[in-house]
A and B are shown apart, each in its own frame.
Chain A
């Protein structure tokens, strides 16, 4: 981050598509917001024209592409409340205010050949950019994707074709019947590194599995917590490491080592 860099930017909406029920893919153009952006980092999006809703919403960088002579980025989001509902009503050509990139992104070891990605629900939003990058670098990527039910799963066409995808649903409507973490043992030995994004319960189950198997695989997770500022000044996004102390998701994360937190 260089001086005078972090400020509200106007991003232009390029497209808005409902990829599955209540889940939207939005491509945006704003050179200042992609400079320094990387898989696992995030931006803060204002979700109103005025002061209500007041706080910006954190969103992961979902994908990047080079088109029309510039680098563009996408967010993938669920309509959850007032802010994301407002966002879902933006149309191509509209502008949204945002600042970023923020936080610490995912880190792939140079020698890691096999990457295992574990996504719970819309946690997949923050992992696809990593898959894109890894595939382009010639690494092998397997994605374990879990959701409540089949219609909530992101269609494979929204992933790079080289990625092997294994599904799990809570209701058994597609793939493994049960939590996605149940698939973990099968792939753990294959993976050089594991990256996960999803609810805290999923992280806890993963940590349990790793401990039970005395696995020493390095696992990075992307944490979510309520955010006020995204810039480390409000202390709203605190998480409490197992060994004590307190960390901020927006500044020390959102990438953490799984075992530090769970």
Chain B
């Protein structure tokens, strides 16, 4: 059975052994789970968001639960790129599972600088650009419109030969337009999507429930909305793989994303309530493919996209 996923081409192109990855900020830096399960079986591990300087993150409370979901405002707590290069990358380099470094910044130059620093690091197989973090000042700014998003990608593209994955925000007014712009600017793949800006109020204390104020919504609650974004971008046929991310907790959820046009998936919040969720998604997917007699993962990718299009001819738009 061929489960491989290709991201980027050429000498430094990345080949994932299978389509199940962990989502940034939802798996620490991988090291935490070395003794929990065999993480080498995963298709890839995405690091916690990395910034130029270390960040302590936001004040408490950082997490509030909502119906079938949660809002977080961690605030990109991370050790900073220097410590990543010194302490984490050498460990990642000893793993067979590829690690994708997720990076975030407030200025275009800083994205480029991060990319330059990580470019030759052994243990870093690709970059994922977080142009969509709701938990830092100006975090959403780049990802919300096509031009600034493309500017970040262009600068990073020039700074590195690593495959560049761009993580889109669901707040983009026109997700397809942002997707097209970053692909045009040189993105090798798209992760769809980051969390949704969201708010919860502590009614006893008459103030936002999170210390930072608002945060990002994740978990099963967002799954159908993100799925539609993946579907819309897939239908635009931009020619790069899509990594679906939003509310995936079971293999059935992953199959939905694949059929909607994703080539791979990331498991995020689900790992919080089931530590083995990423592995169970992978095992369930493999079993499903076996039962369906599918030899190559590619046969499944986008299976529902053409069907949806056909229907649209006579049923019109949604609603």
Chain A residues engaging chain B, CB cutoff 8 angstroms: 1-8, 46, 51-56, 99, 225-240, 245-246, 251
Most chain A CB within 10 A, of B28, B35, B36, B273, is at: B273
Q: Considering residues A46, A52, A233, which has the most beta carbons from chain B within 10 angstroms of its beta carbon? A: A233
Q: A54-B220, A236-B74 are in contact. Are A231 and B276 (CB under 8 A)?
A: no
- Write the nearest CB–CB distance from A162 to chain B, whole angstroms: 37
What residues of chain A lie closer than 8 Å to B37, measured between beta carbons?
A: 3-4, 6-7
Q: Is the CB of A53 within 8 A of B32?
A: no
CA gap between A246 and B55 in the complex, in Å: 9
A251 to B37, CA, bound (A): 17
Contact status B272-A233, CB under 8 Å: yes
Q: Report if A236-B249 is in contact (Cβ < 8 Å); known contacts: A3-B38, A246-B77.
A: no
CB <8 Å contact, B67 and A52? yes
B32 and A55 within 8 A (CB): no
- A246 x B57 contact (CB < 8 A): yes
Complex contact A5–B36 (CB within 8 A): yes
**Chain A contact residues: over half helix, strand or loop, or mixed?**
loop
* Contact of A236 with B273 at beta-carbon distance under 8 Å, contacts A225-B60, A246-B56, A246-B77 already known: no
CB distance from B207 to the nearest CB of A (A): 16
* CB-based contact A46/B77 at 8 Å: no
**Interface residue? B284 (CB, 8 A):** no
Q: Point out residues on B near A: beta carbons under 8 Å.
A: 25-28, 32-33, 35-38, 48, 56-57, 60-65, 67-70, 72, 74, 77, 219-220, 249, 269, 271-276
Asked if B62 and A236 sit within 8 Å, CB to CB, the answer is yes
Q: Give 28 pairs: A residue, B residue, CB < 8 Å, sorted on A.
A: A3-B35, A3-B36, A5-B35, A5-B36, A6-B276, A51-B220, A54-B70, A226-B63, A226-B64, A227-B63, A228-B63, A228-B70, A228-B72, A229-B271, A230-B272, A231-B32, A231-B272, A233-B26, A233-B32, A234-B25, A234-B63, A234-B72, A236-B62, A236-B74, A238-B62, A238-B74, A245-B56, A246-B56
Contact of B68 among A7, A51, A232, A234 (CB under 8 A): A51
Inter-chain contact A232/B74, CB cutoff 8 Å? no
Q: How many A-B residue pairs have CB under 8 A?
A: 109
* A46, A51, A234, A245: the one within 8 Å of B74 (CB): A234
B36:A235 contact, CB within 8 angstroms: no
Contacts of A236 in B (CB 8 A): 62-63, 72, 74
Among B60, B61, B219, max chain A CB count under 10 A is at B60
Chain A residues near B25: list those with CB within 8 A: 234-235
Determine the residue in chain A with the shortest Cβ distance to B30: A233
Q: Are B60 and A226 in contact (CB under 8 A)?
A: yes
* Assembled-state Cα–Cα distance A55/B72 (Å): 12
CB distance from B64 to the nearest CB of A (A): 8
List of B residues within 8 angstroms of A56 by Cβ: 272-273
Q: B219 near A54 (CB under 8 angstroms)?
A: yes
A238 lies within 8 A of B36 (CB) = no
With known contacts A54-B70, A226-B61, A233-B27, A46–B273 Cβ distance under 8 A: yes
- Let me know if A55 and B70 touch, CB within 8 A: yes
